[in-house]
Amino acid sequence: MRVALFLTCVNDTLYPDTGRAVVKLLTRLGVEVDFPMAQTCCGQAHYNTGYRHEAEPLARQFSDVFRDYEAIVVPSGSCAAMVRELYPRLGERARAEGRGDALAEQLAPVVPKTYELTEFLVDVLGVTDVGAYYPHTVTYHPTCHGLRSLRLGDRPRQLLSAVRGLELVELPGAEECCGFGGTFAVKNSDVSAAMGADKVRNAASTGADVLCAADNSCLMHIGGTMARLGTSARPARAVHIAEILASTEEEALA
Amino acid sequence: MTGTFVGMPAFPSAARKALSNETLRGNLRYATHTIRAKRAGAVSELDDWAALREAGREIKDQALRHLDRYLLQMEEAVTAAGGVVHWAADADEANRIVTGLVKATGESDVVKVKSMATQEIGLNEALEAEGIHAYETDLAELIVQLGKDRPSHILVPAIHRNRGEIRDIFTREMSEWGRPAPEGLSDTPAQLAEAARLHLREKFLRAKVGISGANFMVAETGTLVVFESEGNGRMCLTLPETLISVVGIEKLVPTWRDMEVFLQTLPRSSTAERMNPYTSMWTGTRDDDGPRTFHLVLLDNGRTDTLADRVGRQALRCIRCSACLNVCPVYERAGGHAYGSVYPGPIGAILSPQLRGTASEIDASLPYASSLCGACYEVCPVAIDIPEVLVHLRERVVEGGPVVRQGAKVTLRPARGHAAERAAMRAARWAFSHPGALRAGQRLASGARRLTPRTLPGPGRAWTATRDLPALPPEPFREWWRRTRQQEAGRPAPADRGEDQQ
Ligand code: SF4
């Protein structure tokens, strides 16, 4: 299977550990992973802030870079949702504006082949036990796009439950947004911070060591809030689910 | 005497004020979480909820698609039933019509119920200017009116008040407007309700003119429908001699049968009840019962313009159940007043900038009053994709574009204050279109990572005020990939190929 990793611009620049974890995990599961170097950004931040016309060239570029792969794996619910849910919409809007079918046709090939990581593991590879070992108490935050756009359901929980040594504890108010929301975090920073603080409080009430999610953008906001609250705060860390699933007894991560 | 929303500051600053008010936050959190949980229970009882939601969406879409035809049908049916129909293009015209109708009766007091449309147009203030006192009779509206306050929720306009505050308002204000609050009034719900009942009963029995809104209008029969919990609406609709209903044109449904769907979805979505306590329906006039004169004022006020927008028009499907408010994490923290309109919360964030345009500071800021979490779309009983419309309106704010205003096509210019953001978005897009440039930028950042400050200047300060920045890694992923693949293959990586093809 020829699988491409779309790491996302945020992970590439700020969270390379997540990328290394995905490569390690997929390789362990017998998947041959490629990282096409011409990849950059799916255009989500542009699109969601209202710059649809700036997002279009990035969507076209994404499609050109990834169209020949059998599957595109994305360790980010929101970037996967951008491709799957919003690329078709970009095409529709161009059509409605009298620009014809060109954009829709150019973007169509990548849409059904793009998978969020946990979705790829459970639906495409058909595994829930990925052979991981992670001896910590973990609480899981389902991010909004994973939850409501991609409908990941309990796939991430299935994967986490099969990790040896891991104790999964329920997060109160799990389905509430953490308050990141891309540029929302800056444009409405007071509301965003209040939402983040509540998320951290809820996570702390579980007594978990680690809060995990499938999207580093949300983790950047939650983790940044935790860090500001001090080192004694629990959970002490915000970790991407890929890093937990990649972790083994021989090579424990974090 | 109700305060108006004119000249509100932009959403972020209004929200900041609300956030610092602990009582308000507590009241809101408690109320929204309670209704939220109850709604989920009431909805889960119906195993055909998804089908009902779809049916509701289709009925409203069908009605909106042929609104011109159904409105004429409505006018004909109302006229045939003995009512009089008036058409109001905007707030001023509607206020003029209603004020004229009340004056013609020679009365100076009116009772009101269930009408967000009249709040949207500022009818109470217009009546006051002509010496006519309008009394709100819905319990929550009464609290808002007596408190010289503004509504902050679609269904529970006084949701931001707790019982203690309500007791104080009643004790202080009721005597100004009629029967005073009983001596030693406590803050138990029963006593508060009794005080309101006694106060309002005098108004009901005396009023000769009633003003109402409606949840639905049925084109086929010319019937208006109000859903309510307290029975005050029924008093307003039946006791006065003259009834004036002011209704937004989007409230129309084609047939009587269509009510079947909304009778199930509206109560469950709004108050989490299987059926609401009072559903009143009225069709024209009768000689032996109810008002002798009935006027229907059909209000446009930006609705036809909204209908012209392919993406935005779905906001007109709204049945004002308020489910989206009760699940919205932003509404929960910012409070209803921050939205600067009688329509707060997620639906307000897409409705107000369409009905009023995006020219004012508050209206241009509303499309950003969301993290796009999608909870509102998920609960909406008529499946309005609120996040989609929010993004669409953001585009209108930052890029401008064609819109319809008062029936004429105009091209909006981008709103002011977005120049720096637009430049940053363009620069980012340019870098992302040139992977080589992106790589150079990443290397530069990694090299300088020890210089990364804890607090950022400019707009970044909004981030670092409450959150740490992530530490920059020594090496971005693509460097690692290139390096390790190179080692593995024992040859130069193929990576540079095609990297800068644009
Ligand atoms: S937008 Fe939907 S959920 Fe919100 S008030 Fe309207 S009908 Fe209810």
CA B281, B283, B284, B287 torsion: positive or negative?
Answer: negative
Nearest-CA distance A217 → chain B (Å):
10
Q: Which residue of A has its CA nearest to B330?
A: A191
Q: What is the pLDDT of residues B112-144, one digit of tens each?
A: 997 899 999 999 999 999 999 999 999 999 999
* DSSP run (H or E) holding B472: none
Judged by a CB distance cut-off of 8 A, whether residue B372 touches chain A is yes
pLDDT (0 to 100) of residue B470:
85
Query: How far does the centroid of ligand 1 lie from the alpha carbon of residue B4, in Å?
Result: 23
- Mean pLDDT check: name the lowest of B17-21, B365-369, B452-456, B490-494: B490-494
Mean model confidence pLDDT for chain B: 90
Q: Which residue of A has its CA nearest to B12?
A: A188
Nearest CA, atom 3, ligand 1? B380
Q: Which 3 state secondary structure label does DSSP give A196?
A: helix
What is the pLDDT at residue B497?
44
Residues 6+ apart with CB under 8 A from A79: A6, A8, A42, A44
Angle of helix B386-399 relative to helix A52-66, nearest 10 degrees, comes to 110
Q: Identify the pLDDT of residue B304.
A: 97
pLDDT tens, position by position, B73-108: 999 999 999 999 999 999 999 999 999 999 999 999
Residue B463 has pLDDT above 90, yes or no: no
- Contact status of A52 with chain B (Cβ, < 8 Å): yes
- Cis peptide before A235, with omega less than 30 degrees from 0? yes
Q: What is the pLDDT of residue B72?
A: 98
Cβ-proximal residues to B327 (8 Å cutoff; 6+ apart), any chain? B32, B36, B375, B376, B378, B379
Burial (CB count within 10 angstroms: exposed 0-12, middle 13-18, buried 19+), residue B378: middle
Whole-number pLDDT of residue B500: 45
Interval B262-281 mean pLDDT? 94
Give the percent of chain B with pLDDT over 70: 94
Inform me whether the C-beta atom of residue B429 falls under 8 Å from chain A C-beta atoms: yes
Contact of A221 with A78, CB cutoff 8 Å = no
DSSP letters of A145-184? Answer: IIIIIS--TTHHHHHHHTSBT-EEEPPTTTTS--S-TTTH
Atom of ligand 1 nearest to the CA of B345: 4
Would you say residue B319 has pLDDT above 60? yes
Q: Give B-chain residues touching A9 at CB under 8 angstroms.
A: 432, 438
Computed over every residue of chain A, the mean pLDDT equals 94
Q: Which of B63, B8, B91, B1 is nearest to B369 (CA)?
A: B8
Interface probe for A, chosen from B32, B36, B337, B373 (most Cβ of A below 10 Å), is B373
**Alpha-carbon gap, residue B366 to A184, rounded angstroms:** 12
Q: What is the pLDDT of residue A236?
A: 80
- Amino acid B215: pLDDT: 96
State the 10-residue block means of pLDDT for chain A, 254 residues long: 91 94 96 94 94 95 96 97 97 95 97 98 97 96 95 96 97 96 93 95 93 96 88 80 95 68
A61 in B contact zone (CB under 8 Å): yes
pLDDT at A231 (0 to 100) = 54
Q: Tokens at residue B128, please?
A: 């006051």
| Residue pair B258/B59 in contact by the 8 Å Cβ criterion | yes
Residue range B382-392: mean pLDDT, rounded: 98
Amino acid at A146: G
Burial label for A177, CB within 10 Å (0-12, 13-18, 19+), is buried
% pLDDT > 90, chain B: 69
Which is it for strands A71-74 and B408-412: parallel, antiparallel or unpaired? unpaired
Least confident of B83-87, B287-291, B388-392: B287-291
What's the pLDDT tens digit per position in B418-460? 888 888 888 888 888 888 877 887 777 777 766 666 677 677 7
* Number of residues that this document lists for chain A: 254
CB contact under 8 A, A96 and B334: no
Q: Which residue has the tokens 């009902």?
A: B52
**What is the tens place of the pLDDT at every residue in A123-145?**
999 999 999 999 999 999 999 99
Res B492 pLDDT > 70? no
Using the predicted structure, report yes or no on whether residue B502 has a pLDDT greater than 80: no
Write down the ipTM of this complex. 0.95
From residue B488, alpha-carbon distances to A4, A36, A155, B404, B499 in Å are 18, 17, 34, 61, 20
Give the neighbor-by-neighbor strand order of the sheet with A71-74.
A32-34, A2-5, A71-74, A114-116
Residues with CB under 6 Å of ligand 1 are B 154, 269, 318-324, 347, 379-382, 384
CA–CA min distance B420, chain A (Å): 13
- Name the residue among A139, A114, A151, A158 with its Cα closest to residue A6: A114
* Residue A7 pLDDT: 96
Most A CBs within 10 A among B432, B461, B488, hence the mutation to make, goes to B432
Instruction: Give, as one character, the DSSP assignment of residue A143.
Output: -
pLDDT digits (tens, 9 = 90+) for B347-366: 999 999 999 999 899 999 99
Predicted local distance difference test score (pLDDT) of residue B1: 35
CA B194 to chain centre: 30
pLDDT tens-digit readout, B207-245: 999 999 999 999 999 999 999 988 888 999 999 999 999
Question: Which ligand 1 atom minimizes the distance to the CA of B346?
Answer: 4
Confidence of residue B498 (pLDDT cuts 50, 70, 90): very low
Residue A16 with chain B: CB contacts under 8 Å? 473, 475-477, 480
Task: Give the pTM.
Answer: 0.94
Compute the average pLDDT of residues B59-70.
98
Q: Rounded to 5 degrees, what angle do the CA atoms A65, A67, A71 make?
A: 105
Distance CA B104, CA A247 (A): 80
How many other CB atoms are found less than 10 A from the CB of residue A164?
12
Q: Chains A, B: CB contacts under 8 A, how many?
A: 197
Given the CA of residue B323, which atom of ligand 1 is nearest to it?
3
